Every structure is written in structure tokens, then in C-alpha cells.
Amino acid sequence: MSTATGQYLGQLRTKLEHTASGENFITDAPLDNNGRGEAFSPTDTVCAALSSCMMTLMGIYAEREGINLEGLTSSIVKHMESNPRRIGRIEIDFHWPNPVASAHQIEMLKRAALTCPVSKSLHPDLVQEIRFNF
């Protein structure tokens, strides 16, 4: 069984559907690459997946430890390179304004995030700048 299916919609847009749940989303080429920029670009989804994966791993640790991560957010900045066109750097700032956790638990949350499979799957030339503001 496939993980997902994709469909080209024309005008540099695609529709992706998660096979098990039926959830879907649209991608659009960015304005600087002949697109309309009306949805996540494929490279935006890579950056968002990195953030989501890291938060998920923090969530797994938090649930095991009884930590409430409510209020945890991220801000993601993608930096593109040319020749070849690719993501050169991803900056992610995590914000957790009112952490209720020990110093040890906070350190373990950070370590959990940095073991994210998406992070480990990206090319080592892609710079990942991860900041934890908590």
C-alpha cells in the first residue's frame, strides 16, 4: 500500500493525498520559480516537515514524562541556493513561552528534537539552524 499519492493539477500545482487517512494538501511553485505562490511549495513542505517532526519527537518525550507542551510553536525560514537550485539552509526557532519542566527535561526535549528522522534524512550540506527559546 502506498504512503501517499500525488496528482499534477496543471499550472505548476500538485495535490498530495495521504493514503491511510485521505487527508490532502496542494503545493504550488513559488513566485520566484514561475509559480503563483498560493500554497506551500514542495521545498516549503520539506522545511515544515522538519519542524513538525521535531515537535512530534518532543511530544513523544513530553507525553512519556507528563509534560504539557501546550503553547509550543515554531517559526521556519527557508533559504534557497542556486546552481543547483536547492534548499541551502533551514532556520527553525522553537518558542515555548511558559515551560513547566525541569532543566533536565528541557535538555531531553531538545535532544529528542535533534534525533528527528527528517533531520537525519536531509543532505549533510543542508544547514539546519535550530534554536530553542525556552
Residue ranges per structural domain of the chain: 1-40, 41-133
Fold of the domain spanning 41-133: GMP Synthetase; Chain A, domain 3 (3.30.300)
Per residue of the chain (134 residues), give pLDDT as tens: 899 999 999 999 999 999 999 999 999 999 999 999 999 999 999 999 999 999 999 999 999 999 999 999 999 999 999 999 999 999 999 999 989 999 999 999 999 999 999 999 999 999 999 999 99
pTM beyond cutoff 0.85: yes
> In sequence order, which residues have a C-beta less than 8 Å from that of residue 28 and are 6 or more positions away?
12, 13, 35, 36, 37, 38, 39, 40, 41
- 89 three-class SS: strand
Q: Are 36 and 29 in contact (CB under 8 A)?
A: yes
